[in-house]
Chains A and B, each alone.
Chain A
Amino acid sequence: MRRINFARIAVNVVLAAALPLAAGAQQMESHIGNLTGHSDAGRQLYFRYCWGCHGPHGNGMGENEPWVTPQPRNFVAAVFKCRSTPTGTLPLDSDLFNTLKRGFNFTNMPSWAALTDQNRADLVAFIKTFSPRWKSEKPGDPIQIPPEPTLTIGSIKHGQELFQKLECWKCHGQEGRGDGPSASTLTDSNDQPIRPYDFTSDNRSKCGRTNQDLYKIFMTGVDGTPMPSFADVVKPEDAWDLVHFLRTLQYNNPSPELTMWEGTPEGKAIVAAKRVKQTYTGSGVKP
């Protein structure tokens, strides 16, 4: 044990303390409800939890990046998937805050629900120190979401038409399995192949699981991927119809929309045709 080089240890300790300071030297705050996040506190958390994937410089090139698909987010580019703000704009602090709590299903980005609200607010503040965009731009104005109309068969059927007309199926497939004709050609902003969301797998899409979340997803787009924003082509009333139809594609997850759809002969036949009719016991996601 005498051969331990204590001078070396001391240097390492100092370096370890200094390393976080090198990245994102400026101060930032985040505001979520009455919580205020501070980047100084966030930095310490970042260098405990996040750097392995997002990298010490926040550019998504952490040491695990070669083994992580899709790639960890590049905070320097500051292009975010889950926003309540229009495509191309910065998200609200609360969008990032909610993302941290939720995590990204089907990716390596875990849920950070076990941390405290204050921790997450601090992390949001720190993430913003990586990109000059947060200095020069303001987050977009959140999109207006009208109250959800009552669910009717008419609404679901209208949504079904929109799914055809807007060509969602080209990427997501007619059955919503993420296997449309264009699916295999799609790449994200890192030039990595990206698969359209498979509605049949789970109801937990990356940006949330409520009807409101679904509404936001196609009205703001998933920036950094080919999933566009449809805000310019879909009227708010129509958007809710589309939401109702999308729910019926998630046939492994009970919902009022699915129940109503299966209550009609047409809907029942469509859903029944999709289900696998043999006992199936895969170890992962439902077929």
Chain B
Amino acid sequence: MDVRGTGVVGGRFRLGTTLLGSIALLVVLLFSCSSASALPAFARKYGMPCSSCHEAWPKLSPFGQQFKDNGYQMGNDRDAPIFQNPSYWPVTFRITPQWHRESTNKAQVDGVDGVGADEAKVTTHGFDWSGLDFHTAGTLANNISFYVLPSSDNTGAFHFESVWARLDNIAGSSWLNVKFGKFELDNLLSEKRILTLTNVGGFYENYHFQPMVAPGVPEASYSFGIGDNQVGIEWMGHSKDDRTRVSASLLSSNDGTPGLPTSRGYDGFFAASQAFQLGSLGLQRVGGFAYIGEAPTYFQYTLNGTGIPGTGIGNKGFQRYGLIGMWYIKKFDITTMYFHGKDDATLATTLALTGAPPTPPTGAHSPTWNGALFESHYNFNPQLILINRYEMVRMSQQVFSTNPGNLGNVDTLTFGVRYYPFISSRAGFAYHGEYAISRIRGASPVTLTDLVSSSLLAGIDFDF
């Protein structure tokens, strides 16, 4: 993600450089995650209220998921742009003016022990706004769909979150759809459609977790998130009623960054799920996914000692696996997810790419970890939804046996409420309230003890 590391909320957390990795992730993810998809452009095109496609926007309903999987098409031969009024332009923007309060128990500060040698609890609050998403999406012709999403942080610095075209229903088969470009992975629990927005609760920990190498030392040779949009090619197939869904993607192993910055390596992502009806309870869905990735550990060529972009070699592997269940009991639903991750020992311990193959320090292990997510919703009616999420990450194998066993473990708890005072076929509007708190073991910048951060937010989330 090109916004990563730009310190967009800089000044709020003045942390030392040592731990920037794991904390910058938290801070910056707000911006990479703000790009949720809820498109009044579609509502206007089809004359449908948001609530048709969204249980509560941006979260999809089964109807919306099918619409998306069908290439943003209803399939009633009114999908091609030729059926629209010529002045129709498929554009939606989304932004969230807000008041928020951010607190961290151990920020690095100057103090009696010297420059940057102390920790203090730092809390700030005030009025603010989110980044802007500028979605354009729809069909170019029958069975050719597209999505282009310039997205900014709240300073107005833009990047491309999505850039793709898709051939839908090739040869008339719903099992043959091919997407090309930069896109969100086929995540059933979509981070782009997350219902929570804060710095702490506005992303899925498990989708971005990378272990710590040693106390105070984050992984640095590569960055990756299943929640980040990736660039490549995706085949996706689904049954006509969307109960069965499968996909496989081939991706550049650069976490969706532009300009071929690292290696010539490729990653694979695979997902499959099946939905079934359970009496009058609703539509249940179970599935699994796997991300098999690789990242370079040194440069083939350097110039003046600096690696030449794109010439990374010595690829080492990393893997992420997950199982997901989405359970509906009438108006209540809960998503459960199990997550497993593993990084190669050399990859984990390479702190900077040089011109020579690195040797992992003796005693270095390939780190492994497990994670879980429980996200429940109570959907009173299309206008009101309560949200609760608990996520945890537990290391099962530290890089070094000398690390505390719980180093890097994460717990995050989030509560949210969204109320949509009106639901129309033109624009979206939601009052949003949220509180989230997270604890990362051993991650404080100076004392290397537990870091606790929390966010409180009240805002108006709207799009048109």
Contact = CB atoms under 8 A, between A and B. Distances in A.
A283 B77 contact: no
Contact of A51 (B49, B241, B283, B421): B49
A165 interface: no
A197 B62 CA distance: 31
A187 B382 CA distance: 37
Contacts of A202: 77
B74 A111 contact: yes
B277 A104 contact: no
A113 B421 contact: no
Contacts of B52: 48-49, 52
B76 A104 contact: yes
A112 interface: yes
A9 B421 contact: yes
Give the interface size class of chain A: 35 or more
B63 A108 contact: no
A13 B419 contact: yes
Contacts of A103: 74-76
A17 interface: yes
B65 A114 contact: yes
B459 interface: yes
Contacts of B83: 284
A16 B380 CA distance: 10
B77 A105 contact: yes
Contacts of A282: 82
Q: Could you tell me the dominant secondary structure of chain B's interface residues?
A: mixed
Contact of B47 (A13, A44, A52, A115): A52
B425 A106 contact: no
B47 A118 contact: no
Contacts of B421: 9, 12
Contacts of A68: 47
Contacts of B49: 48-49, 51-52
A109 B61 CA distance: 18
Interface of B: 46-49, 51-52, 61-63, 65-67, 74-78, 80-83, 98-99, 140-142, 240-242, 277, 279-280, 282-283, 380-384, 419, 421, 424-425, 431, 458-459
- 10 closest A-B pairs by beta carbon, nearest first, are A64-B47, A283-B141, A114-B66, A1-B458, A52-B49, A284-B80, A284-B82, A110-B74, A1-B99, A114-B63
28 contacts: A1-B458, A4-B458, A9-B419, A13-B380, A41-B280, A44-B381, A48-B52, A52-B424, A67-B47, A104-B76, A105-B77, A106-B76, A106-B78, A107-B78, A109-B76, A110-B75, A111-B74, A111-B75, A113-B66, A113-B242, A114-B62, A114-B66, A115-B283, A116-B277, A118-B277, A282-B82, A283-B141, A284-B142
Given A9-B421, A41-B280, A114-B242, 8 more contacts: A13-B383, A17-B380, A48-B381, A64-B47, A64-B425, A104-B76, A116-B277, A118-B280
